[in-house]
Structure 1
Amino acid sequence: MARYRFCVIGAGIVGLATAHRLLSEHPGASVVVIEAEDDVGRHQTGHNSGVIHSGIYYEPGSLKATLCKAGEQATKEFCAEHAIEFDECGKLIVATDAGEVARCDALAERAVINGIECRRVSGAELTEMEPNVTGLAALYLPRTGIVDYRRVCTTLAGLILDSGGELRTGERVVAIEEGAAGVTVGTTSGTVACERLMVCAGLQADRLARMAGLRVDVQIVPFRGEYFRLPPGRSGFVQRLIYPVPDPALPFLGVHLSPTISGDITVGPSAVLGLAREGYPKFSVNLRDVASMATFPGVWRVAAANIALGCREIGNSVFKGRYLTECRRYAPELTKADLLAHPAGIRAQAVGRDGTLLHDFVIERTDRMIHVLNSPSPAATAALPIGRHIAALAA
């Protein structure tokens, strides 16, 4: 049986940031990262918009607000230190009707509370900044940026190995047992013993928590984020990230235009209830995942409370023209031919038994374990501070 001081389950960006921080704070400590896939960053980290968020949306005082603001700066500093390309391109949150203008005003007030650099932009100035974008008004966030988070992940993995840590990929966890002296983790390749266990399992977070004996009253529900990308002929269509004004009742930010560090411009994501936690092709179905959702009352309560929204998202998924309508609210020059296929992502959204969509990061602790039960966007932006937070709890 291999023995370690610290064990981290999950080699997404949060798990890797945690392991890296543990090695930084405890030089010489034995640290192992266990990952079911054959490489790092294969799920949420590798299937997102690549945005370095500023933190304007999040409830003041929440973990999201605090850690995202710290993460925006920490991510840029990490990238600069390790020669990872990023671009502080800025973001425009575009209001297209009077109700959205009022919500923009509320967001601007929240930006002041959260300490986010932000200024109001008129409709005329918006068109000057982005000729292909129209709206009544907008908020401009100059510090929002873009990066390839997969590159951040591979860099973190290399630093972990260089510091004496171990990365075990292709090992699925099948058992977790906590005892007075430590935690035993059974995998498909053997058994690991550790003094402290950190579980950063994303789409499988609730299952591993229950496997470890926690009484968890939430379930991870997968929401497919379906993307398109613009053709090469639309290169430079926008210079900045273009976002709609979000619905404050929902944890999703809506369909947006995102320049990427590779030079593409993506359009999306949608938010369609998924039938497979790790099924990225369209119409993927996993019977185990479907059964777990069908028997969890919170899923039915979410569905009942969001029938109209759910039908709209399904329609956008099935009919490209309806998806295009969402985009043309603020980018009227786009056509159906501009929407080219692009890989989907899957968001791990924690849902309470009462049907509550959990907005903030959720971390549960026992004597020797820490479980990250909800780490949706902006977890990639906030990963380095989240890792620091978890490492402090582990110590």
Structure 2
Amino acid sequence: MFSQKTFIIAEAGVNHNGSLELAKQLVDVAVQAGADAVKFQTFRAEKVVSSSAPKAAYQCRTTEENESQLEMLRKLELSEDQHSELITYCQQKGIQFLSTPFDEISVDLLVRKFDLPLIKIPSGEITNGPFLLFIARTGKPVILSTGMSTLGEVETALGVLAFGYTQPHTKPSLAAFQAAYASAEGQQALRQKVTLLHCTTEYPAPFEDVNLSAMDTLRAAFGLSVGYSDHTPGIAVPIAAVARGAVVIEKHFTLDRHLPGPDHRASLEPVELKQMVEAIRQVEQALGSGLKIPAASEKKKNTLVVRRSLVAACPIKKGEQFTRENIAAKRPGDGCSPMLFWDYIGKWAVKDYLPDEQI
């Protein structure tokens, strides 16, 4: 689904604080950083949380103390008109607009109204079977975050997606999901349409909880492309994830970490986002083909300089026998390889050699 280049998603999320102008500034920052896409969140608060739903601890630290999660999310909704304007703005700026939906109305808005090329499914919805099925039946490719989940939960979610992609008219059930997952048709649909993101759902995520090696586990278990959604401070871990084979990187960013709102504290500021993108592109170049052969710069500049050739260690007369004492290996490396040292021992010189003259 993605090219060899890492697909970098600058996650604006709800860091627009409900302001269209702020959202456009975030798009500008993502463009300037060189990200491939800028991603927001699409939801209707009443469809996502109940009136009694508590806020997460990190949200309590960064928003009004007496405000409910529902009240907080209401302030962060983007209307259909705001979505339309943002999508147009992204097109003008040459960056892909993406958004994470959190309810079926929002999925319809993104797919039916705006025809987005793919859907990002957040970690919190990986056990929301009806929602996963609704998304799969749109036929759109998905990026599925796997924060907080076990390998078994990921497999169950993939079963729902496989069923939704391949069985549009069949009655859903756990048995039907398992059958779809086990089928050749279901596996093919997953390979074509699903990318998994390893993720640690904490803001910010402690480094000791990241477990980047789980990317390898996901890849080996499901045979799917794997990326990484990062919530750690700084840019070191997403760069490491690219070196480990991540095909997608997602990272929150903000205009200013000191702005009010739930996610700003765990987000990169503009300079850091640009540094992350630049570093990822450098890592991509550095990964190379995997073939252990001399690089062009090595052959052109340094091989002859630092390798050695067989030379006379002292004056050698024509007809004199080569010995361990009268031949040596010295730079430069444009003569006979020292690997042939033993082949010369015991042979006779066909000419006179001065000290350091190449054999």
- TM-score by length of structure 2 reads 0.30
Q: Which has the higher contact order (CA 8 A, sep 6+)?
A: 1
- Bigger proportion of residues as strand: 1
